[in-house]
Chains A and B, each alone.
Chain A
Amino acid sequence: MLKKRIIPCLDVKDGYVVKGINFVKLKKISDPVEQAQIYQDQGADELCFLDISASHEKRSIMIDIVKKTADRCFMPLTVGGGIKGLEDIRSLLKAGADKISLNTFAVNNPILVKKAAEKFGTQCIVVAIDVKKTANGNYTVFTHGGRKETKLEALSWAKKVEEFGAGEILLTSMDRDGTGKGFDIEITKKISDSVSIPVIASGGVGKLQHLVDGIVKGNASGVLAASIFHYGTFSISEAKKYMNDSGVLVRL
């Protein structure tokens, strides 16, 4: 059977891995290529690079990081952040990325998601959806690394990107990101149950049980975390063992 995926995420800014709390306060951690290699050795199922400040800063450095990583890590690699057009997608794929994650770009030009899926294949187009729960209990989509609120409601947006040919949804709760309080299960489950493409839960992992919850309660196909792995709180192998012991099918 297909196994549930554990995906360490490396938030990259100016060539360094950083990690923030609720998307803002950034702390510099390490070299992304070295960190990617460590995760590969620990048995990560995939790697995810998010160029978190890319929407408004230069980012040719990212291409170089992707190349170096793809040269030594024989595993799937997703890259996102600051994609502005089909040409950006092509150059990242050429550098060695397997999947491209689109957020601001997708919201501004939904039709280009369609074009990108047609051109490069559904399998390599991930739409990243950053959501925040509003006072009335609805979930609103944010762009620009969480700095800009949109008028989009999360569930209908998720259905729309599926229709446009996204092959996967990377769902991040901004309320939970960096807090260690666990995924927002409510929205994860809601979206996972309503679309037929895989959904990856992200934002808020602090304990290994949170990873299990994302799969078992949130019905996600995979779980993504940054801090717990970066800071060495847990290794990927420890996380997998815990999930396996909890009855989640993982690749050991």
Chain B
Amino acid sequence: MKVTIIDCGSGNLRSAQKAFEKVSSNLYKNTKIIITSIVEDLEESDFIVLPGVGSFSDFINGMKKINGMQEALNYYVIKKGIPFLGICVGMQVLATKGYENEETEGLNWISGSVRKIKTNANLPIPQMGWNNLKIKKNHPIVNNISEKDHTYFVHSYLFDVNDETQIIASVDYGVDITSIVAKDNVIGMQFHPEKSQKVGLDLIYNFISME
């Protein structure tokens, strides 16, 4: 079983790798969790993970600097249907467009846009900390996850998803914030499952149990 974690130059991917190692060893015999910026490494992946920190535009620009990466992602994820997980900004770039720093085109895998969180509730921005998930829709990714479960968020922008049926979970932060999106084999999480202790590891388990 091979999990490919894509490095678009945005820092800490070690935690994601360790979390996948911990979870996958309970589920598969031979597991290989790699971090890579090399397009060819996507070959023969069973799962593809795109973690992201930083801004939408920086992240997309970082991806574009890797020759052929965006095309390869489109090929393996959209054409071949390899299960995919985008984390934080890695989820946001699934959108059609982002408005952080400047208007930037996303991967456009899930129709919608990414814009700054605006609440009337006078809450600090970024949303930083643990919030409990509101499950909107039954989906294998939220197996055994309840509304009492918390995950760790740190973000100032939210994903405004056009088709509400693609929203699996949200959290309340003055406004409803999309927290898990899903469309076919593509999953996105706004929070950091690799930083969300047991609940996060359970969500990763659900992801790598997907077929």
User: Which A residues contact B (CB, under 8 angstroms)?
Assistant: 1-5, 40, 45, 67, 70-72, 74-76, 90, 93-98, 119-124, 167-168, 196-199, 221-222, 251
**Contact count A vs B, C-beta below 8 Å:** 104
How far, in angstroms, from A94 to B14 measured CA to CA in the complex? Answer: 7
Cross-chain contact A97 with B12 (CB below 8 angstroms) = yes
CB neighbours (8 Å) of A196 from chain B are 124-125
Assess A251 versus B18: contact at CB under 8 Å? Given A40-B197, A120-B11. no
Cross-chain contact A74 with B126 (CB below 8 angstroms) = no
How far, in angstroms, from A1 to B176 measured CA to CA in the complex? Answer: 10
Cross-chain contact B123 with A2 (CB below 8 angstroms) = yes
How far, in angstroms, from A76 to B173 measured CA to CA in the complex? Answer: 20
Confirm or deny: B195 has a beta carbon within 8 angstroms of a beta carbon on chain A: yes
Q: Which residue of B lies closest to A195 (CB)?
A: B124
A161 CB to nearest B CB, Å: 14
How far, in angstroms, from A119 to B55 measured CA to CA in the complex? Answer: 9
A-contacting residues, B24-39, CB 8 Å: none
CB neighbours (8 Å) of A67 from chain B are 14
For the complex with contacts A121-B55, A222-B129, 19 further pairs of A-B residues with Cβ separation under 8 Å are A2-B129, A2-B173, A3-B129, A3-B131, A74-B18, A74-B196, A74-B201, A94-B14, A95-B14, A96-B15, A97-B12, A120-B11, A121-B54, A122-B156, A123-B154, A123-B156, A198-B128, A221-B128, A221-B129
Size bin of chain B's contact surface? 35 or more
Q: Which residue of B lies closest to A199 (CB)?
A: B124
Instruction: Select A2's contact among B18, B127, B156, B200, beta carbons within 8 Å.
Output: B127
How far, in angstroms, from A4 to B131 measured CA to CA in the complex? Answer: 9
Assess A71 versus B18: contact at CB under 8 Å? Given A3-B150, A98-B12. yes
Confirm or deny: B155 has a beta carbon within 8 angstroms of a beta carbon on chain A: yes
Cross-chain contact B156 with A75 (CB below 8 angstroms) = no
Cross-chain contact A74 with B195 (CB below 8 angstroms) = yes
Give a binary string over B137-173; 1 marks a CB under 8 Å from any A CB, 0 the rest. 0000000000000101111100000000000000111
Instruction: Select A122's contact among B14, B126, B132, beta carbons within 8 Å.
Output: B126
A to B CB contacts below 8 Å, 15 in the list: A2-B127, A2-B171, A3-B129, A3-B132, A70-B18, A96-B15, A119-B54, A120-B53, A121-B53, A123-B128, A167-B154, A168-B126, A196-B124, A197-B126, A221-B128
Q: Which residue of B lies closest to A40 (CB)?
A: B197
CB neighbours (8 Å) of B18 from chain A are 70-72, 74
Q: Report which residue of B55, B132, B155, B195 has the largest number of chain A beta carbons within 10 angstroms of its beta carbon.
A: B195
Q: Report which residue of A90, A95, A197 has the largest number of chain B beta carbons within 10 angstroms of its beta carbon.
A: A197
CB neighbours (8 Å) of A222 from chain B are 129
How far, in angstroms, from A75 to B155 measured CA to CA in the complex? Answer: 16
How far, in angstroms, from A65 to B19 measured CA to CA in the complex? Answer: 18
Instruction: Select A120's contact among B54, B126, B132, B154, beta carbons within 8 Å.
Output: B54
Cross-chain contact B155 with A93 (CB below 8 angstroms) = no
CB neighbours (8 Å) of A76 from chain B are 152, 154, 192, 195
CB neighbours (8 Å) of A93 from chain B are 11-12
